[in-house]
């Protein structure tokens, strides 16, 4: 068949060669003749000799065919190449723009915004071409390596086409990857320049408050600043006269009136809407959280709306000059800022309603902390307002520096005074205690670490303002308030999540009851689900708070999302690509495989194998082997998805075997034994086991050893290899039921059936003795003076074996004693009287009483009279 295909190709080439030669001209005829004759292979070589123009043509008889023409690039690859060329031009333009040194942060942000879409498109190209390249290489590998000897024309043509396809896909993929690296490099350059500019602006030093030159320059520019102020006022008057129509004035007056009404009304509405009454007793966590949200929203939202309404009206009416609008916006924003801080402090601290307080602290601490927060917020608001006015009026730079520095110093002083009062309060509490000093937990609500951090912030703000780092001091103040607000919001959000989840799932609520009834979930399972939901939401909230805090420190959110995306979709460390998404999918596949394996194993154990004639031992072996096989297949599937082939795993296993051979046998033995213990679970945490001479409860199973706590509270560390290779008695392997055995002896002259009934009755009356199997009595021995019985009872918990055995001993002894089945050896026992030995008996009694400690001598013993009632109770036996 292959020979027929060759002859067909040769015939077609021979028929087409004259037309092609005529179209190409005379110069192409010799070459076409060679191409036409080459595929025949076995044709007459003399026919081809006239067509060979150069004399050296016969010197290459080993090449029967020239390579086929290069396969043209496919249309899809052409489109991808065009897309890559456009992306390259865009990246080159951005990289060229980065060479300019006069770029500000806005220019850098603009350059940064266009890179993520480019990178996403390049990743899509890489993801698209990667599988295609692997498939093309796989098809090329099916042809095998290129032989040294000539191969058939069809195979050579197919090989050339596949090699050309692999080459074009590979070249395009390399180009896309190089452009992706270029985009990452440009992103890093922009981020580095932005961080450098941020750091340079933050640590820019000017004259500090302690510098006389700063105050001299500020006073010298006094006249200029007055003229700038007068100019601003004149411009404002002119702007009002020009834009002060009746409609604009009415709109502004209406906006100011509504804003004032909102500001004043919120103070009267908030206590009513919050529903935080002092007579409600101790409210629940959910009620306190909901009340805190109401107080915060009612206190903050009206203020924010009023400030926004005034600012928006000023923008629309244009009653102020353009350069004074930012100052006006900063004034109304400062008022809203103070209102928001006040509402947040009232919601969390609740100074006047201790029962509704979310944060655990004393009343004095809550009141003092509330005043400190409001004082700092007010100082910051006034400072930011004056700074806005300075910028709008265009005051001199020394005045601006003095303003920022003075207000930074005031904030530091206010914060220091608050910390001093907290420290004084703590000292007063310590001195009021009697007795020696004992370190205890802080009851002020502001612990030692927080006070130390506060003093560090005070020192940083104050020193920065004094020595000339005004920008740094202002930045620290902004971060102080921003961090406090973010922490308060985070605390309120976490408390809300915990309260909502707890009230919905962890209590006997309607939702929890409905879920238990409809899904069959137990209450413990719902509690676990609630904990998982709460934990997941906490992680999300903490991540969001971290992003907000990092953004204020100059870290762009785009960079954070890029890092997160790189971490999720793959990042390279030391030539190894780590992808969290791939790991998550592999874990999902592994979990799904385990579930399927368990389902198959359960089907074998419960459905299929019981229907066969196999013995139970073989059934158990088949079920166990199927579990191990499924586990190994699932593990291999997960590893293959991660890109770990069996060859790599074999190399790792070989390296481990070499390490084991150099002295790690015992460690690896214990490690593998620990894995077997955790997997097969012959013993579990909490089991009562007997290992050699030690008996106790399993407290911890690690990969190296197992800890057992004995009944005398001693800890026994047992290597895991001993548990695997040794004999271990597990008293609770199947269940926690135990067995109690009691030996009982009764008089020989008693009825054994009646005695057994009494003993069994004592066991049945005990609450910890199982009803099924019932307790039973075994007649062990017929002795000379006694009959020996053995009580066997099954109990609910083997851990209470000693207690149940003791209770049964008490009950059996009491029952048999009351029934007369156990001889009474006390004072009421029978006395045997032997006639004729009275004198000897009295003498021996006197000798015994004299020799015993504390005995009474005969001459000192008081005279006693016989008791007739006691004499009647005696049952003397007479021996002749």
Per-residue model confidence as pLDDT tens digits over 842-863:
766 677 666 555 444 444 444 4
Q: Is residue 539 part of a domain?
A: no
How far apart are the C-alpha atoms of 81 and 123, rounded to whole Å?
14
Whether residue 120 is found in the same domain as residue 150: yes
Domain boundary among 178, 202, 226: 202
pLDDT category of residue 715 using cuts at 50, 70 and 90:
very high
Using one digit for the tens of pLDDT, what is the confidence trace for 371-405? 889 999 999 999 888 888 888 888 878 888 888 88
**Per-residue pLDDT band at 622 (split at 50, 70, 90):** confident
Q: Does residue 843 fall inside a structural domain?
A: no
Give me the long-range contacts of 12-18 (CB less than 8 A, separation at least 24): 13/39
Strand-by-strand arrangement of the 776-782 sheet: 738-747, 786-795, 776-782
DSSP 3-state of 686: coil
Band of pLDDT at residue 567, cut at 50, 70 and 90: low
83 plus 185 within the same structural domain: yes
Predicted confidence (pLDDT) at residue 591 exceeds the cutoff of 70: yes
| Residues 6+ positions from 103 with CB-CB distance below 8 Å | 97, 111, 193
Structure tokens at 72: 């043209």
> Under a CB-based contact definition with an 8 Å cutoff, are residues 296 and 496 in contact?
no
Per-residue pLDDT at 576 = 58
Are 696 and 771 part of one and the same domain?
A: no
Contact 301, 209 (CB under 8 A): no
For residues 664 and 621, membership in a common domain is answered with no
Interatomic CA distance for residues 810 and 759, integer angstroms: 11
pLDDT of residue 98: 84
Contact of 544 with 551, CB cutoff 8 Å: no
Cβ(119)–Cβ(207) under 8 Å? no
Task: For residues 653-660, give the mean pLDDT.
Answer: 68
Residues 6+ apart with CB under 8 A from 186: 91, 94, 95, 98, 111, 115
Asked whether residue 879 is domain-assigned, the answer is no
Domain assignment present for 565 = no
Domain that holds residue 719: 652-729
* Shared domain check, 350 and 250: yes
What stretch of H or E contains 832?
strand 832-834
Q: Which two tokens stand for residue 847?
A: 């000798």
Distance between CA atoms of 773 and 469, rounded to whole angstroms?
A: 85
Judged against a pLDDT cut of 60, whether residue 435 lies above it is answered with no
121 and 174 co-located in one domain: yes
| Interacting residues of 172 by C-beta distance below 8 A, sequence separation 6+ | 77, 80, 81, 84, 125, 129
Q: Is residue 524 part of a domain?
A: no
Residues 696 and 793 grouped into a single domain: no
User: What digits encode the pLDDT tens for the residues 22-74?
Assistant: 333 433 333 333 333 333 333 443 333 444 444 444 444 444 444 444 555 67
pLDDT of residue 65: 45
Kindly report the CATH number assigned to the domain that includes residue 690.
2.30.30.60
Cα 264 to chain centroid distance, Å, stands at: 45
Q: How many domains does the chain have?
A: 6
240, 350: one domain: yes
> Are 633 and 657 within one domain?
no
More confidently predicted of 599 and 436: 599
Structure tokens at 154: 């069809």
**pLDDT value at position 440?**
46
Q: Per the domain annotation, does 831 fall within a domain?
A: no
Q: What percentage of the chain carries pLDDT values higher than 70?
A: 75
One domain for residues 712 and 809: no
pLDDT of residue 571: 61
- Give the mean model confidence (pLDDT) for residues 148-172: 84
262 versus 653: which is more confidently predicted? 262
Cβ-proximal residues to 721 (8 Å cutoff; 6+ apart), any chain: 666, 669, 670, 673
Spell out a b/e string for 850-859, using b for 16 or more CB atoms within 10 Å of the CB, else e. eeeeeeeeee
Last residue of a domain, one of 712, 729, 746: 729
Question: DSSP letters of 622-648?
Answer: HHHHHHHHHHHHHHHHHHHHHT--HHH
Evaluate the CA torsion angle 134, 135, 141, 146 in order and state its sign: negative
What stretches of 244-284 show up as alpha helix (H) in DSSP?
246-274
Rounded Cα–Cα distance for residues 363 and 724 (Å): 60
Give the model's confidence band at 577: pLDDT under 50 very low, under 70 low, under 90 confident, else very high. Answer: low
Domain-located, residue 546: no
Distance (Å, rounded) from C-alpha 403 to C-alpha 473? 12
For residues 597 and 663, state if they share a domain. Answer: no
Q: What's the Cα-to-Cα distance from 285 to each of 352, 359, 515, 679, rounded to whole Å?
A: 18, 11, 23, 41
Is residue 715 located within the same domain as residue 770? no
Q: Is position 416 within any domain?
A: no
What is the rounded CA–CA span in Å between residue 373 and residue 341?
8
Domain end position, chosen among 644, 669, 687: 644
Helix (H), strand (E) at residue 719: strand 715-719
How, if at all, do strands 705-710 and 715-719 pair? antiparallel
Sign of CA dihedral 486, 492, 494, 500: negative
Question: How does the average pLDDT of the chain come out, rounded?
Answer: 77
Virtual CA dihedral for 256, 257, 260, 266, nearest 10 degrees? Answer: -130
Question: Three-state SS across 768-807?
Answer: CECCCCCCEEEEEEECCCEEEEEEEEEECCHHHHHHHHHH
Distance CA 815, CA 821 (A): 9
Closest CA to 583 of 648, 641, 536: 641
Residue appearing with tokens 């036996």: 877
pLDDT at 851: 58
| CATH label of the domain that carries residue 767 | 3.30.70.100
CA angle 526, 529, 534 (to 5 degrees): 125
Rg (CA), the chain: 48
Contact assessment for residue 794 and residue 739, using Cβ atoms and an 8 Å cutoff = yes
């Amino acid at each position: 068949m292959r020979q027929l295909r060759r002859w067909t190709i040769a015939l077609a080439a021979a028929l087409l060669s004259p037309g092609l030669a005529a179209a190409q001209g005379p110069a192409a005829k010799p070459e076409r003749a060679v191409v036409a004759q080459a595929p025949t292979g076995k044709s007459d070589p003399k026919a081809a000799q006239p067509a060979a123009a150069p004399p050296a043509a016969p010197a290459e008889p080993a090449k029967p065919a020239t390579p086929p023409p290069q396969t043209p690039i496919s249309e899809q690859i052409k489109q991808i190449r065009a897309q890559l060329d456009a992306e390259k031009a865009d990246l080159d333009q951005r990289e060229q723009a980065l060479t300019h040194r006069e770029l500000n942060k806005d220019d850098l942000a603009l350059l940064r915004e266009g890179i993520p879409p480019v990178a996403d498109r390049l990743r899509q190209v890489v993801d698209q071409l990667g599988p295609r390249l692997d498939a093309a290489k796989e098809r090329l590998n099916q042809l095998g390596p290129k032989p040294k000897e000539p191969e058939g024309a069809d195979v050579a043509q197919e090989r050339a086409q596949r090699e050309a396809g692999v080459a074009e896909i590979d070249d395009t993929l390399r180009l896309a990857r190089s452009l992706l690296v270029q985009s990452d490099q440009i992103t890093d350059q922009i981020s580095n320049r932005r961080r450098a500019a941020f750091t340079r602006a933050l640590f820019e030093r000017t004259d500090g408050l302690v510098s006389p030159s700063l105050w001299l320059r500020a006073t010298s520019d006094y006249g200029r600043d007055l003229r700038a102020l007068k100019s601003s006022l004149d411009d404002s008057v002119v702007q009002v006269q020009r834009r002060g129509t009746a409609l604009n004035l009415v709109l502004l007056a209406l906006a100011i009136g509504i804003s004032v009404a909102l500001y004043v009304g919120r103070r009267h509405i908030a206590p009513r809407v919050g529903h935080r009454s002092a007579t409600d007793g101790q409210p629940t966590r959910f009620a306190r959280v909901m009340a805190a949200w109401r107080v915060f929203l009612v206190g903050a939202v009206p203020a924010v709306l009023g400030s926004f309404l005034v600012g928006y009206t000023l923008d629309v009416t244009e009653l102020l000059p353009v350069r004074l609008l930012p100052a006006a916006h900063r004034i109304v924003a400062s008022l809203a800022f103070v209102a928001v801080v006040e509402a947040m402090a009232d919601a969390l601290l609740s100074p006047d309603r201790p029962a509704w307080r979310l944060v655990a602290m004393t009343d004095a601490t809550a009141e003092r902390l509330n005043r400190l927060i409001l004082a700092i917020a007010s100082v910051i608001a006034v400072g930011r307002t004056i700074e806005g006015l300075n910028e709008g009026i265009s005051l001199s730079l020394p005045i601006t520096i003095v303003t920022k520095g003075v207000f930074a110093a005031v904030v530091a002083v206010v914060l220091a005074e608050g910390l001093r009062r907290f420290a004084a309060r703590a000292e007063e509490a310590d001195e009021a205690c009697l007795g020696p000093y004992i370190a205890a937990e802080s009851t002020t609500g502001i612990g030692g670490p927080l006070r130390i951090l506060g003093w560090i912030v005070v020192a940083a703000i104050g020193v920065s303002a004094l020595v000339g780092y005004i920008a740094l001091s202002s930045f620290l103040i902004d971060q102080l308030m921003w961090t406090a607000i973010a922490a308060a919001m985070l605390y309120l959000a976490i408390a809300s999540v915990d309260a909502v989840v707890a009230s919905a799932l962890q209590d006997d609520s309607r939702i929890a009851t409905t879920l238990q009834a409809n899904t069959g979930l137990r209450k413990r399972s719902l509690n676990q689900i609630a904990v998982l939901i709460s934990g997941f939401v906490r992680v999300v909230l903490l991540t969001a708070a971290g992003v907000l805090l990092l953004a204020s420190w100059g870290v762009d959110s785009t960079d954070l999302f890029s890092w997160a995306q790189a971490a999720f979709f793959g990042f390279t460390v030391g030539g190894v690509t780590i992808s969290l998404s791939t790991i998550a999918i592999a874990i999902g596949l592994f979990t799904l495989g385990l579930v399927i394996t368990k389902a198959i194993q359960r089907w074998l154990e419960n459905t299929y194998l019981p229907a066969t004639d196999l013995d139970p031992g073989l059934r158990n072996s088949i079920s166990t082997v199927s579990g191990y096989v499924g586990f190994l297949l699932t593990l291999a599937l997960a590893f293959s998805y991660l890109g770990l082939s069996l060859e790599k795993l074999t190399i790792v296993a070989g390296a481990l075997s070499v390490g084991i051979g150099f002295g790690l046998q015992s460690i690896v033995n214990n490690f593998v034994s620990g894995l077997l213990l955790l997997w097969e679970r012959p013993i579990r945490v909490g089991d009562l086991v007997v290992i050699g001479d030690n008996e106790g409860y399993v407290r911890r199973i690690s990969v190296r050893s197992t800890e057992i706590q004995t009944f005398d509270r001693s800890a026994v560390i047992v290597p895991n290899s001993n548990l695997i290779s040794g004999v271990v008695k597990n008293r609770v392997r199947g269940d926690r039921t135990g067995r109690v055995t009691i030996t009982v002896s009764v008089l020989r002259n008693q009825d054994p059936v009646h005695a057994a009934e009494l003993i069994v009755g004592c066991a049945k009356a005990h609450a910890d003795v199982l009803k099924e199997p019932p307790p039973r009595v075994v007649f062990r021995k017929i002795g000379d003076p006694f009959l020996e019985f053995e009580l066997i009872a099954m109990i609910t918990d083997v851990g209470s074996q000693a207690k149940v055995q003791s209770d049964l001993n008490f009950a059996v002894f009491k029952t048999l004693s009351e029934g007369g089945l156990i001889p009474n050896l006390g004072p009421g026992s029978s006395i045997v009287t032997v006639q004729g030995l009275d004198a000897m008996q009295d003498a021996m009694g006197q000798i015994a009483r004299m020799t015993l400690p504390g005995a009474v001598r005969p001459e000192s013993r008081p005279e006693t009279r016989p008791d007739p009632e006691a004499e009647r109770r005696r049952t003397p036996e007479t021996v002749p």
